[in-house]
Amino acid sequence: MNQSTSNNDQTSAMLNRRDWLQCSTAAALAGSFLSVSAKAEAHNRKVPQGKAEHCIMLWLGGGASQIDTFDPKHQSIDNAKDPGSDYAAIDTVVPGVQISEHLKQTAKLLDRCALVRTLHHDEIDEHAAASYRMHIGRRTSGTIVYPSLGSVVTHRKEKLSTKVPSYVLMGYPSPGRQPGFLGPQHGFVYLTDTESGPKGLSRPTRISKERLKRREDVLQKLASIYSREHKIDSQIAAYMAAAEQGRDLAGPEFMSVFNLQQEPGDLRNQYGGEFGQRCLLARRLIERGTRFVEVSFNLTFVNGTGWDTHNEGQLKQHLLIQGLDQAFATLLKDLEQKKLLDKTLVVIATEFGRPAKFDAGGGRGHHAKAFSGVLAGGGLKTGQAIGQTDELGELHVSGPKISVPDWFATIYAAMGIDYTNEMYAGDRPVPLTDGGNAIAELFA
């Protein structure tokens, strides 16, 4: 090879390297520009802003069957080899939309509701994982403890009263309800009793008012000293704030909420049993300024299994559905009569649905590819069913296919919360949803 050829090869290689570097730099800049543009577009796109001030979530723990409640299909002939709904479907006040025959009262009020029939996720076998997903809006993480739906609502919405808690849980405080990185001040107050309230907030009869006051004064001094010595520790400050809130809640305004005897007797009867009384208590809480209440339908079930209707649990499932119907319909009418329905979003949620086929014991297994949720009131565009499933109620066929992040984005939007914003776990930004978008059909 002569010298001229060698020089030409070196020059060509240098040009190729230069071209490659120029192209790589241009690609990197373009990628960065596109990333910034995508973020700007997400931030600037029109996000629905609802006007709801409160949220009551009715939680059907166990996995309520969509085809036996809000998405009925062909009725099974034998409840064994013939897959389908266990009950007949009935018409509602919304033309073309039917629900289970055991939701008779709800059928008359369905114009106040929106049925979301194409919810889906991929947690099937584990109740705990599916329940966590439907309370947190995303999968568990090994590096961060995410906040629950209720905690995010109370974090994003200004406190309405210091005399009642912003977030109340009536049911089991299982994983998924916690405030996570938002801190204890955005945690829940846990109620087990609809008549007397949290035992930890009541003054024991053996302790006089004077003695209690002396104890509070000493505690206040000790807390003040400890706080000054650890002023940089945000976690300690958060616990101090939560303790102070607890003392506020021990006052008469919150404790009087539990006096259901103040309500007319016929209204208490209309609400029905223990679950209904919890719904009545939820209404009394939001009247006084509570932002988010979860009412769990997980009491001693008359069917033996609750909403997890394997085997014989299916036989008396209709009693559960009737109890839900009575409490839910009464809650809607009660809120409406008190002019609270437009500013209160009522949510019916569960961890997953059930398949159309029956198991060997006559019940149903788990199904998460398509199941139902309900959104009522809250100023939404109600009187419609969102999404359509196949002839067995198991697969999405048409209309919006709603992911769990979409479901969360919709609830946040109804509450006037911009779901495209971020929270911070320390210095780490965390989006409010895992890429969700609100259901456009619900916002006029």
DSSP 309-326: --GGGGTTHHHHHHHHHH
pLDDT of amino acid 431: 97
pLDDT of amino acid 14: 45
Element containing residue 286 per DSSP (H, E):
helix 274-287
**What's 125's DSSP letter?**
S
Q: What are 172-202's pLDDT values in tens digits?
A: 888 899 999 999 999 999 988 777 666 555 5
**85 with 126, same domain?**
yes
**192 with 164, same domain?**
yes
Residues 442 and 386: their CA atoms lie apart, in Å, by 9
Pairing verdict, β 384-386 and 98-100:
unpaired
Assigned token pair, 152: 């995010």
Q: How far is CA 233 from CA 144, 226, 236, in A?
A: 19, 11, 6
pLDDT of amino acid 303: 81
**190 with 213, same domain?**
no
Q: What are 200-243's pLDDT values in tens digits?
A: 555 555 666 566 567 656 766 666 676 666 665 666 666 656 56
How many Cβ atoms are within 10 Å of 190's Cβ, its own excluded? 15
Assigned token pair, 24: 């790589």
328-331: list long-range contacts, CB under 8 Å, 24+ apart: 328/58, 328/105, 328/106, 328/279, 329/105, 329/106, 329/108, 329/109, 330/105, 330/267, 330/270, 330/271, 330/272, 330/276, 330/279, 330/280, 331/56, 331/271, 331/279, 331/280, 331/282, 331/283
Domain membership of residue 209 as a residue range: 203-247
pLDDT of amino acid 304: 83
What's CA 175's distance to the chain center, in Å? 13
How many Cβ atoms are within 10 Å of 338's Cβ, its own excluded? 12
**4 with 68, same domain?**
no
**304 with 425, same domain?**
yes
**226 with 208, same domain?**
yes
Mean pLDDT by 10 residues, the chain (444 residues): 49 48 46 41 71 97 97 93 96 98 98 98 93 95 92 97 93 88 93 69 59 64 66 62 59 80 96 95 96 87 87 91 98 98 98 95 95 98 98 97 98 98 95 97 92
The total number of structural domains that make up the chain: 3
**23 with 63, same domain?**
no
pTM above 0.75, yes or no: yes
211, 229, 247: which is the final residue of a domain?
A: 247
Assigned token pair, 273: 């049993």
Assigned token pair, 421: 């914003």
**243 with 254, same domain?**
no
pLDDT of amino acid 175: 82
User: CA-based angle 317:69:405, to the nearest 5?
Assistant: 120
In the block, residue with structure tokens 């939309």: 97
Q: E strands of 284-413, at which residues?
A: 292-296, 344-349, 371-377, 384-386, 388-389, 396-398, 402-403
Residues 334 and 262: their CA atoms lie apart, in Å, by 15
Residues 294 and 178: their CA atoms lie apart, in Å, by 13
Most distant CA atoms of the chain, gap in Å: 108
**142 with 254, same domain?**
yes
219, 247, 275: which is the final residue of a domain?
A: 247
Return the axis-axis angle of helices 404-414 and 127-136, rounded to nearest 10°.
40
Residues 371 and 163: their CA atoms lie apart, in Å, by 38
Pairing verdict, β 292-296 and 54-59:
parallel
pLDDT of amino acid 15: 42
**261 with 243, same domain?**
no
Residues 370 and 352: their CA atoms lie apart, in Å, by 8
**What's 196's DSSP letter?**
T
**166 with 213, same domain?**
no
**313 with 226, same domain?**
no
For residues 78 and 406, the answer to whether their CB atoms sit within 8 Å is: no
pLDDT of amino acid 197: 65
Residues 53 and 59: their CA atoms lie apart, in Å, by 19
Residues 141 and 247: their CA atoms lie apart, in Å, by 34
CATH number at residue 345: 3.40.720.10
